[in-house]
Structures are given as C-alpha cells and as structure tokens.
Chain A
Amino acid sequence: MTWLCDGSLEGFLCALYESFRLRRLPERLTRDRSTIDLFEEVYDIHTDDETAAKMMAHLRVQLAPDTLRRILHTTLCDDAAYERELLLYTRLALRDDKALHDLSQPVVFAIEGYEKRLMRVVHRMYGFVRFEMLEDSSLYARIAPPCNVLPLIGRHFAKRMEGERFIIHDTSRNLILVWDTVNLAVHPILEASAPILHAEEQRYRGLWKSFFESVAIEERKNYKAQRNFVPLLYREYMSEFA
C-alpha cells in the first residue's frame, strides 16, 4: 500500500507513529499526490500535531542527538523523495543504533547523503545570500535554494550581524527568517510587496559589480569552473551575475 503524508516534519512523525501502531511498513511513502496512479491503494495519513509532538518526545529520549539531528535535517530536503528511506532509517535507529555506522546499508548511505547535500547547500548559502539595504537601513535578502535551508542559516547571519536587523526571504517556499537584533524566527508569509531600497543601495551594488569584474584574470578565464561553483539556479538573486 502507498501512504500519503503532507511533507511536513509533523506529517512524517505521524507516518512513523502509524507504522508502529499498524506494525507494518508502506510499500511507498510519499508526499506527492501527483505520483499516485489511479488504481493504487492509498492510505492518507492524517497529520495530528499532538501525535507528532509525542513521537518527537519519544525520539528525543531514544536517539543520540546526532541521529535526531540527521532525521530533522532530512525532512528539510524537500526536493528529494526521502520519506520511505527516512522511515526505515528512523526505525533502524530505534532498534539498533550501531547499525547506523554501517555505510554499506543502503538507507544509512542514502540518509547521510541527503544530509551532506543539505549541508552543502547551507554552506553555499552562507556565501551566496545577497542583502540589500532598505530605506530604514535594515537588510533584506531573497533566496530560492534547492532545498529548505532557511531554518538552518539564521544563526550564522545573526552572529555576524548581531546589531543589524535583517530578513531573509525564501521566495520559492514563501518563508521569511527574521532577526530583530534579539530574536530569530521563521514565519510563513502569503506574499511580499516590493522592497523600497536605501538611497545608497544602487551605488554599492555598482561598486560590487565593478569589483567582481575587475578581479577576474583574463588569462585564466574558466566559465566551466565558475558554473560548477555557482550553478545557475543560485544566480537569480546574486546581483553580480545580473
């Protein structure tokens, strides 16, 4: 049978709970209704916050912090079909956490792979986020990363810009991350109005662009390497590539 969940962490936790309650595993676990064909038997998992919280509390007690972190991180890889693998992985972790060392187990390898990839995107975003200064001197950045790294990058920027207020806006997921110099939070939004830029903003953007162009060495031109390091999908909001 195919199980259908809603793609949130809570939804996943409920699916996990169901697998224990029913003592069985789904043949397929997915969040994507469009992959289900007409005659497939489907079990729609209802997301219940209370069940999810209970499951979470259970995992917190039972699992090593690293394992739990890896599970949470995997649920942020929203461009991959991780659900069934993660379900198996979590059950394996609860049963025998020594098995998690064995990279030749396909689920272990897959889940570690997801996390690694996520962290690579996080590290890239540390560099590729571009803030614009707004009218009121606060900073605003738009991003559209391939997976949902917004919740993971806030601390980094809060640490380095402790005294500045900023918002990072994930335009493909409609989430914003807000640092108001005291608290850090992620909120879903419906839509955003166009930002009003600071009078100096264009000037610094121009200076940055001329720095970017002057720093390249003609004799070493290598667009292939450049594209490999900054894939096109990251360039949308990077002003130097505009």
Chain B
Amino acid sequence: MVFKHDIVVVGAGLAGLRAALEAANSGEVALISKVYPTRSHSGAAQGGIAAALGNEEPDSWEWHMYDTVKGGDYLTDQDVAEILARDAPRAVYELEHWGVPFNRTAEGKIAQRAFGGHTREFGKGPVKRACYAADRSGRVMMDTLYFEAVRRGVRIYSEFQMLDLIMVAGRVAGIVVYELATGEVHCFHSRIVLLSTGGFGKVFRTTSNCFANTGDGVYLAYRSGIPLEDMEFVQFHPTGIYGLGVLISEAARGEGGILRNGSGEAFMERYAPTIKDLAPRDMVSRAIHMEILQGRGIDGRDFVHLDLTHLGEKRLRERLSDISSFVRIYLGIDPARDPIPVRPTCHYMMGGIPTDLDGRVLDAHHRPVPGLFAAGECACLSLHGANRLGCNSLLDLVVFGRRAGEAMATSLGELEWEDLPRNAQDPAVSRMKRVLDRREGDRAGVIRASLQKTMTENCSVFRREGSLEKALTEIRRLMDQYRRVKVDNRGKRFNADLLEALELESLLGLAEVIVVSAKARQESRGAHYREDFPERDDGGWLKHTLVRKTGEDPEVFFKSVRITRFEPKARTY
C-alpha cells in the first residue's frame, strides 16, 4: 500500500513526539514507530531535564551553557549550546503546562536537584538544575506528549518499521516500512521525513539501551550518502547495575550517593576534588576503570560500589523509587542497607546525523538535504560535543524537536511532492526475500553477539590503535558472515527473527563507522580516550569528524567547531 502524508516522523520517542506536535497544525503528520510509542526508550530516562530555573538556588543560563561546552570537552558548537541553555526554562514550563507531574519544592515550584557536570558560577560547585519527576522523568514526559499527540490528531502507525529511505535525486520522497502485524511492505509518500529513531547502544554487549535501539535511522541516512558526525564519541554511563547494564541514574549521586572502591574509599575525591562524584560521566567511567585495573575493585573484581545507604528510606522512596526497585528485583538487595555493585554501561551516542540548528540534515558539503530532518539522539547538532551532560538529552529532545517541527511546518510551503519512484519498495523486499530464502548460514544472534563482544573489548572506555584495528578486522569479517545470515521464521506476522536480522545490518554498519572515527582521532577528548594519545590536542583535533560511505572503505573528513564565548581551557573539576 501507499500512504500519503505531508510529513512522516520516524520514531515516537520524545524527539519525534515533540516535533510532530509542533508541525501538527500545519500539515498532515504521520508518526511511525517500530514499538508502541509509549514503549520508546525516552521512557527509560530517570534523572530529569536540565534548566536554569533557579528554583532551589541561584542559577543562570550562561552557567548552563558553559557547563555544556566544558562537559563536551570544547567540541560542542557553542551557538547550539547557547540556544539550548536559553530556551531550557521555556521548554520545561511548557512541559509543566501540558501536565508533566514534576516533583515540587515547598513553595510549589518545580523541584530541582544536582546532576553530574552542572555547576554554579562556571565550575565553583554543584548546582541544582535538574527538574525531575522522581526517577521516572522520561516516562511521564513521554506519556504526556503521547496523549497530547493523540488528542491533536497526529496519525500514529504503531509497529511499523522503516526499512528504507526513498530519495530521488538528492531529495526525500518518503520511506519504505514493514508492518509487523501483517508482514506487508508499504510506502509512505511524503514531502518531509524526520528521523528521530534514537540511539544504538545495542552495538555494545552491556548497555542501558533497549532492544529497539539499533540505530536504523542513522544507518539508513548513512547508506543514502549522508555523512555521520562525531561517531567516536560513545558515552559510557558510570553506574550500570553489574552484569545487567540496567541504569542507576546519576540522580542517585545528585541526591548524595557516593562511589566506593574495594577498600571503601570515596575515590572520586582523588579524580575530581571539587565536584567529586558529580564529575562528568566520561571522567567517572574512566576513574572506575582505573580503580578496577589497579586492583581496587570490590574484592579485586571488576566492579565498584555505589553507596546510597546514608540517604535514608524516605528519600529513596520519594526520589529514587524506580532504581530502588530495580536493585531489589535484579540484585535482591535493599539500597537503604547495602551498597550497589556497578560498572560502566554503554549509554548514549553523542554522534549521529549532522543537522543545522533547525533539524535540517546536512550533506557532505554541509548543505541541507531538501525534505530530510533529524532530531533527538540520532541527530548530531554538535550540542553534546565529546561528552553529554546528564539531563541535557531530554532537554535537547524538546528544544530541538520543537525547532525541527517548526522548520518542517515552514518548509511545507516550499517543498513540492516528489514523484514516488515506481517499485520503491523493491530493494527492501528483495533484501528480505534473500534472507528468508536462505537455508544455510548463521543466525543473526550469533553474529550480533560477536559484534557486541569485539566492540566491548576493543572500543569501549579505553581505546588504542591496536585494539581498534582488531575491532575493524573483526567487524569486516562479521559483515562477510552477515551476507549469509539466515532466519528460522519465514512467517508474515510478528516476525522478530527477520526484523532482528535486518537490524543487524544497521548495527554492523554503525559499528564500523564508530571504529573508523575512533581510529582517525589521534587524541583523547571527552568520552574518546586513546591510551596511545592520552592528551587533548586542540591544535590538531579541535574539529568534528565526519565519515561518509563510499564504494570502498568509509571516507573520513573534518569540519571546524563553532566557538563563540568560551575559549578551550584545561578541563578539570
């Protein structure tokens, strides 16, 4: 079938929802998601959303902007950070007006708490900037925006999975999708496509990300010739539950939690004397790895403890109840009594599809691709630079999701309908058929597990030339193996076996780009730490990495960083 809508938003997380809401009055908007919208991973966000409201103590947008730039290790484009920090209070009030049930201060204002890397007076000490609803901040924001979207008549297609982006002579004409319930392949014909497909933590073995986070939108953009930006910057969150990777929000440390090593020492005091446990994530994750490598893990093992025992049951219940229940369920321990075993878990992708300030996707010559937009974690506005600060992603989604929605609404006046090419769905259909018909070969799960293993061993918190070379060789071997991927399930309905096999192509392609970018960058900055180049090198590397698909090996090139207010300085906390 062919569905026709002015705008197709692919991905119903907070970025897609916010953009769709903004554009809903200007054209017919379809919202497409491979999971039911409220199952999107934005719902897993626990800690909160940053905004210098100053409800609990003095704060200013300039401090917020500075923290964002410094947190990003100066790779952040500063005009983007300025928009974010200035627009944050409006964006949070808007969420409140729509009904998000934020926690409150005694005077009835939105409550705020401390979070990693957010400081007062340009780094003097922690500041309470994170607005939150217990540790369910993302979930309540998603629910609110989802029901608002339904109310405003946004057309929602749940369990529709994008398989291809349809481009005609460098312009967007629509997308190809697979309907999970029927196995039918459809075309969506549209004037605008917004990609808001989220992150791709599933490239790694241990991650806080959901199963749906396979980066399809990013990969399909890349396959269509769009370069990907800053892909080497992968955030490892310091506190994943040991073994599982399920996240214990930084809010736990914002509320006073302390990391301790095998001898009970609060080791962050050594690494970040001013803000200690509230240092940015890249620093804390490295510190944990250092403690472990030097034999100071718990009982000499490969984890440390997050100690919340001094916070008291009341605070745990009112502000950290979900994570308390995760710990009870998965570890069988009570966080009010026992410390929590944690280690870093893959959490967030700073890199992605390059866009301008209004979500327009930029091609290799930094020119907007007509009709193509991106927002949310799949996009790279160069806001988070080399390391994202906690609570800045939810803010990014609503601030830049809205801007993209506004820009889409305006663009509708200018964009013509491209004719849908005949048989636009054929490439996807034959890709699927090849997989379905194959009798000999390997299951996707086996290849995926090898990919996750090599990425985890060779391209995590610490990297060096040799490990990256090893990862690259292995990824290319797996890409070969993938040409013979087979499935058990040849049925048409809810065939996750088939869809996971198709998603694996995205994971493999994106892993390659991550490693190629990481190999290219011969310095250490933010989340990208090279043991063979341990220093930041502003002379050589204060620039964004771009990687483009070619017939052969991916091509690497660079673009400059926009610096407006804050000159790069040494980054200490």
Is the A/B pair a real complex? no
